[in-house]
């Protein structure tokens, strides 16, 4: 049975850039992400590739979208503040993704070194 992950923007960008360490996570497993992740991925894809490639990536990963509510905003910002006070300064999108991964009881897939060693994180380089 395939595992399920929260796909951090870092993981999506690594996969779409050809990082083979991420291949199995996207091809043999399942995952979710938010529109905020797609926002980051689209922008970085525009920088790295071109408009057509960025649009193709957006279309491909839109099937993984999940929504979030007001309670998730509050919970994720509390998580962000906790992590910041512990010396881990993460973005709003990352805080939301990490919070949602814990809420959904799935692993947060990333290669962002800020998350290395945190509970519930699948850290891949």
Helix (H, G, I), strand (E, B) or coil at 29: coil
Angle at 124 between CA 85 and CA 53, to 5 degrees: 105
Give the Cβ contact number of residue 66 at 10 Å: 13
This prediction has a pTM of 0.95
Average pLDDT of span 9-38 = 97
Residue 49: DSSP 8-state: S
Q: Quick check: 2 pLDDT over 90?
A: no
Write the CATH number for 96. Answer: 3.40.50.1010
Tokens 């699948």 -> residue: 122
Structure tokens at 122: 């699948």
What pLDDT was estimated at residue 32?
Answer: 98
Domain count within the chain = 1
For residues 36 and 72, the answer to whether their CB atoms sit within 8 Å is: no
Domain that holds residue 78: 4-123
């Amino acid at each position: 049975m395939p595992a399920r992950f929260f796909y951090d923007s870092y993981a999506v960008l690594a996969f779409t850039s050809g990082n083979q360490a991420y291949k199995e996570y996207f091809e043999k497993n399942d995952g979710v992400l938010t529109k905020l992740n797609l926002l980051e991925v689209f922008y970085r894809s525009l920088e790295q590739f071109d408009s057509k490639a960025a649009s193709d990536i957006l279309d491909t990963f839109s099937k993984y979208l999940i929504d979030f509510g007001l309670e998730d905003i509050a919970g994720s910002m509390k998580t962000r503040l906790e992590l910041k006070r512990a010396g881990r300064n993460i973005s709003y999108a990352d805080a939301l993704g990490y919070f949602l991964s814990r809420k959904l009881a799935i692993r947060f897939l990333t290669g962002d070194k800020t998350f290395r060693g945190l509970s519930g994180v699948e850290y891949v380089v």
